[in-house]
């Protein structure tokens, strides 16, 4: 199978993964902006619509980036690793999980020392998308690599 096809499948999966949070954030911000427009608070509504747009674009970009990186890792992996479902899933999970954790950490520390101010009880919520992305990439690694599903 050609490497371009595997990378394309990874990017497509990343776009589907990024679409869920993008849709949820977009709808919530549009509803809230509509509420502020009805209340004649146009400045707040415009700011909320801008933040919602940034959240949608950021979520889609992050999903496509993680999916493409997972596809690249699977495209250039040795054939013996791709035929073993456990090793293939581990490679996909490590690639997607580490990249998602890196993007999350970079987003939280971009505007200062926000990461250190998060309570330990909230750390689970902060880092759960990385775990979810890793598990989803591991589950779909056979589909991305073109090895079929292991049922």
11 occurs within a structural domain: yes
User: Comparing C-alpha atoms, which of 20, 3, 45, 32 is closest to residue 146?
Assistant: 3
151 domain residue, yes or no: no
Q: Is residue 150, in this structure, part of any structural domain at all? A: no
Residue 33 and residue 44: Cα distance in Å, rounded? 7
In this structure, the number of other CB atoms found within 10 A of the CB of residue 79 comes to 8
Residue 26 resides in a domain: yes
69 part of a folded domain = yes
Please tell me the distance from the alpha carbon of residue 86 to that of residue 84, in angstroms, as a whole number: 6
From first CA to last CA, the distance across the chain in angstroms is 21
- Total-model pTM: 0.82
Crossing angle of helices 3-38/123-139, nearest 10°? 140
> Per-residue pLDDT for 149 more than 60?
no
In a domain, 25, yes or no: yes
Per-residue model confidence as pLDDT tens digits over 12-26: 999 998 898 889 988
- Tokens 């679409």 correspond to what residue? 19
Average pLDDT over residues 39-60: 89
Number of folded domains that form the chain: 1
Return d(Cα 70, Cα 121) in angstroms, integer. Answer: 30
In a domain, 149, yes or no: no
In a domain, residue 10? The reply is yes
Q: Which domain holds residue 15?
A: 3-144
Binned at pLDDT 50, 70 and 90, residue 151 comes out as very low
* Start-end of H helices in the chain: 3-38, 42-75, 79-83, 85-109, 123-139, 141-145
């Amino acid at each position: 199978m050609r490497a371009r096809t595997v990378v394309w499948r990874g990017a497509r999966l990343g776009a589907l993964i990024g679409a869920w949070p993008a849709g949820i954030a977009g709808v919530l911000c549009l509803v809230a902006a509509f509420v502020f427009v009805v209340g004649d608070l146009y400045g707040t509504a415009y700011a909320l619509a801008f933040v919602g747009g940034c959240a949608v674009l950021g979520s889609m970009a992050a999903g496509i980036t993680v999916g493409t990186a997972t596809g690249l890792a699977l495209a250039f992996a040795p054939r013996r690793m791709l035929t073993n479902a456990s090793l293939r899933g581990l490679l996909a999970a490590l690639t997607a999980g580490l990249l998602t954790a890196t993007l999350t950490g970079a987003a939280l520390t971009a505007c200062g020392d926000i990461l250190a101010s998060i309570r330990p009880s909230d750390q689970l919520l902060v880092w759960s998308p990385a775990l979810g992305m890793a598990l989803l990439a591991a589950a779909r690694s056979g589909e991305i690599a073109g090895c079929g599903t292991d049922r």
